[in-house]
Structure 1
Amino acid sequence: MLRKILLLFILATIQSTVAQQTDVAYSIGEKYNDKYKYSNLLAIAEDGEGGTVIVRAYYTGIVLKPKGYFIEHYNKDLELLSEFNYKLKNANFVDAYIKNGQAYLLFLEYNYDNMAYEYQIHRSPYTDYQFTRETILTIPSDPVAEPLDWNYYNRNFSSGFTTSVLFNDEKSAFAITTHFKKGKNNQHFIHVFDAGLNKLMEHDFSAEVEEKNYAFETITFSEDLRNVYLVGKAYFKKKRFNATERKFQYEMVRVSSMGGTTQSFYTPGKFPRGPKTYF
């Protein structure tokens, strides 16, 4: 009997502890009718005063197509302060973030007059919506079918142009990688910007891509933004002669204003996993 009482006491204690750990405080704001039934959340961030700014892409039409971007600003009580419909068709969206009291939208467009790809930022204060456009990077190239690289799993780039963008978790800075290859011209650069669009550094990575193709997956910055660490897969271009030969290995690339270094992660007999840097 005593054993049963002790067991019941232990179970009650465990349930009480779990219940305390799973309690979550939440609040629900006023219900608003959504003007855009089909939309994707692109960015959400605090406004520094307890409020929240949300950026969504919305789609309309019988065949759903992107028609623009909807920005909403809520106060700490989840009351809608302002909203803005930024109508923009046929734009090649890359990413969005909220910083310094402004909403930033990043696009990759092709300029046929200049025969070049352009990374463009559309930005506006979310208290007084007036969007401006700015080209932060231009890369000469012929147009290609899919310039933006999302393929982490089978990197077999051989010619043309490919590019990728990586933000850190805080959205305080980001890197744009650009790889252009045509004939003997094989150029790979890493361009680094802070959230205010100031260019922090540029690194010529071309020597590393002679033997390997890179698919970067994560990025981390030092606190002062003077060092950036990119981690990703480096795929060997050489042909494998047996199944035991590595197809790729993980590498970390450290870039600063003084240059760059590369560190590989490989343990014989171990399957490579995706490492990530921490500070």
Structure 2
Amino acid sequence: MKKILLGIVFTMLSWQSFAQDIPFNIQKSDVFKDEYKHSTIVLAENDGNGGVIIIRSYQGGMFSSGVGYYFEHYDASLKLIKEYDYSMKYSDVERQSSVLGLIMNGQNINIVDFLYNRDQKAYICSAITANIADFNFTKKELFRLSSDEIKQFSFFSSFSGFDGDSGASMIINEDKTAFAITIDIKDKTTETHKIFLYDNKLNQKFEHVFKRDIKDRKFRYENIDVSKDGSALYLLGKVYTDEKKKKKEGGKYQYELTRITKDSEKTQVFDTDEHFAASLKTIVFTDRLTCIGFYSDRNDSRFKGISYFELDPVTLDIRKSKFNPFTEQFMIDKYGKDKDKELKNLSFRRIIVTANNEIVFNAEEFYIITNYVSTPQGSYTTTTYHYDDIVSARISTAGDIVWARNINKRQATGGDDSYISYTSTAKGGDAYFFINTGEKVKKLSNDRIQFGQTSTKHSNLNIIRIKQNGDFDYQEILDDKDNEVPFMVSNGVLSDNSVFFIGRKGKKKQLLKVTL
């Protein structure tokens, strides 16, 4: 009997050791209503006086059509000072409109818009600019391309023999001083991108045509980054060459990183040797350039660890190449004991650079299941989107794993994913994750825990902290019983040491600020 009681006490102590006091501060705005039901925070900027500028995009539904932005200025107590509704309006000849992104320059906000003008037979990129003091919007054309030159914006392009990177995208550097716009150009025999680089004052630094002498579908565009000083671009591609087809082991492809400036273009080719690396992400530092991703020894979709490449940011010379297997602690987190298994279905999430330039690399187990259902009334298909375990690893400046942890989570949705998944950030040397759970945290074997399903009716906001040494704890910071609205935890926006969330229940909304 004594042994049983000691066992119960030990289990309770182990369970309670997860829940700790994590320092944070919460502020809420007043509950308000908008004309448009659906809105998402796209930008949060400090106003310099303790307040914040919040920009939300909105989209109308069946009974209230419209697309635009709410501009809101809040004081330090999250009291609304000023608001402005800007509706995106287009003429009858303007089609396929898409806002690529927003960037601020002091008190000026720039909305970068891309659309097709039917009469002029041209794709036109413009910046719609206003000062937040008066919201007097003006429009400036940045560039245009003929319809014959650019690849069409259509789902039909997936059947045309091209790769899947068609369209336009906007990339902003970390310091928000510059941005690039890349356009995939129509060419079946040559991978071609036209790239434009601007500073945040809308001055064009250069335009460049990137070409790779290989069929479009054999070049997979991974990502593009803008240097911290806003003078160079780094384009990473995954290339399937005839030479790599002959490899006996590992992925039959190579990665190519190209540095582009106003006057030069330089490419570095590197291989993952006998390993498989499904995808890599580029992280730009002042004195180094890193490419990081998951790798496997079996195939492109089952992962065994984290690959790390370090290059000189100017010459692109490879300084380091490492393949770090997941730690024993990670495997215990995941499976309950150390097992020789590989993960699958990992999708990149936010990558964080800490104060001492270490990397916190985050991912999530994401997969889609489609079921065919047959009933006497007819047949139909159901699609379920699964957002499961959080994978997080801290990588030292030498490229080694400091720690790797798996946070068990089981969440799924048939459509709106705003209330599930997570938002991550860092302060000092600690990593933080914000997630919703609709039930009590479940205890697993080997002193593990699992966060479960949430919904708009039952949504408790939790914060998880992984400390510098890899230990993690968690704390519930908002109970759904204390909230008028559930908060869209996957759409958090960062500003300094704060994370902003929008909550919604019908047209009823509320802004939440969590400061670490």
TM-score of the two chains, using structure 2 as the length reference = 0.44
The Cα of 1:119 is off from its aligned counterpart by 0.9
1:256 aligned residue: 261
* Structure 1 pair 127–117 and aligned structure 2 pair: CA distance change class (3 A): same
* Structure 1 pair 15–34 and aligned structure 2 pair: CA distance change class (3 A): same
Percent identity reads 27
**Structure 1 position 19 matched with structure 2 position 20:** yes
Q: Aligned equivalents of 1:253 and 1:106: distance in 2?
A: 25
**Structure 1 position 231 matched with structure 2 position 228:** no
Q: Aligned equivalents of 2:244 and 2:65: distance in 1?
A: 42
Say whether the 8 Å CA contact 2:102–2:109 is kept in structure 1: yes
- Amino acid in the other structure paired with 2:80: L
Aligned 1:1-279 pairs, distance under 5 A: 19-20=20-21, 22-62=22-62, 65-89=65-89, 91-142=97-148, 145-146=152-153, 157=162, 162-181=167-186, 187-206=192-211, 208-211=212-215, 212-222=218-228, 224-236=229-241, 246=251, 248-272=253-277, 273-279=279-285
The Cα of 1:247 is off from its aligned counterpart by 5.7
- Amino acid in the other structure paired with 1:194: D
Q: Aligned equivalents of 1:15 and 1:220: distance in 2?
A: 45
Say whether the 8 Å CA contact 1:44–1:97 is kept in structure 2: no
In the alignment, structure 2 segments of 5+ residues that lack a partner are: 1-8, 91-96, 286-516
Higher relative contact order by CA 8 Å / sep ≥ 6: 1 or 2? 2
| 31-40 vs 112-121, which moves further | 31-40
The Cα of 1:172 is off from its aligned counterpart by 2.2
- Amino acid in the other structure paired with 1:204: V
TM-score of the two chains, using structure 1 as the length reference = 0.76
> What SS does structure 1 have at the residue aligned with 2:73?
strand
Say whether the 8 Å CA contact 1:108–1:120 is kept in structure 2: yes
* Structure 1 pair 77–198 and aligned structure 2 pair: CA distance change class (3 A): same
* Structure 1 pair 127–209 and aligned structure 2 pair: CA distance change class (3 A): farther
CA RMSD in angstroms comes to 4.0
Say whether the 8 Å CA contact 1:213–1:237 is kept in structure 2: no
The Cα of 1:218 is off from its aligned counterpart by 4.3
In the alignment, structure 1 segments of 5+ residues that lack a partner are: 1-7
> What SS does structure 2 have at the residue aligned with 1:267?
coil
| 174-183 vs 250-259, which moves further | 174-183
- Amino acid in the other structure paired with 2:57: A
Q: Aligned equivalents of 1:252 and 1:264: distance in 2?
A: 7
Q: Aligned equivalents of 1:258 and 1:69: distance in 2?
A: 38
The Cα of 1:93 is off from its aligned counterpart by 1.9
The Cα of 1:48 is off from its aligned counterpart by 2.8
* Structure 1 pair 269–241 and aligned structure 2 pair: CA distance change class (3 A): closer
Q: Aligned equivalents of 1:86 and 1:196: distance in 2?
A: 21
